[in-house]
Amino acid sequence: MKRRLFRSAPSEGTSGLDVGALAPMVDMMTLLLVFLLRTYSTDLAPSPPEGPFALAATGSEDARKGGIELIVSGEAIYVDGQRVASWDHVEGEGVIDPLYSRLLQARPKLRAEVHADGTVPWRQLSRVLATAQAAGVEQIALVGAYRGGM
């Protein structure tokens, strides 16, 4: 007896792939797309090459506008991916000299975006911000991980 492996084509238009099953799939795909467009980003969050690093959360939806990329971790300070100072060797108060020298060379320096680890205290962060300001950076922004939902 010959065994049939495939069904014959349905004779009626409503059997097989049903329109009623496709409509929820379109809805679901649309919702997924909207969710991704709302919550995902094409900007990769920069992080230091070493040590723990986690951005603080923020509800700000403002997008990045570019500029000098300052990363402040609990161990060191990085400018555009290059380590310029270690907190162990940063002494005194006020302007951080290696950072100041590095920022003076940066062109253009209209804007700087500071990616600071969530645990970095204000006494350290304020020195970074003050140094950037002293080096002539006109606009300074703090970058966080967006925690908003839909």
Q: Which residues bind other proteins (CB under 8 A)?
A: 13, 17, 19, 22-23, 25-26, 29-30, 32-33, 36-37, 39-45, 55-65, 113, 116-123, 125-126, 129-130, 133, 139-148
Nearer to other proteins, 4 or 92 (CB): 92
Calpha distance 108→68 (Å, rounded): 8
Alpha-carbon separation of residue 84 from 99, 106, 130, 141 (angstroms): 6, 13, 16, 20
Taking a C-beta distance cutoff of 8 angstroms, is the pair 102, 84 a contact?
A: yes
Shortest separation between residue 58's beta carbon and other proteins, angstroms:
4
Nearer to other proteins, 41 or 86 (CB): 41
What's the CA dihedral at 134, 86, 81, 106 to 10 degrees? Answer: 20
Nearer to other proteins, 1 or 19 (CB): 19
Shortest separation between residue 101's beta carbon and other proteins, angstroms:
20
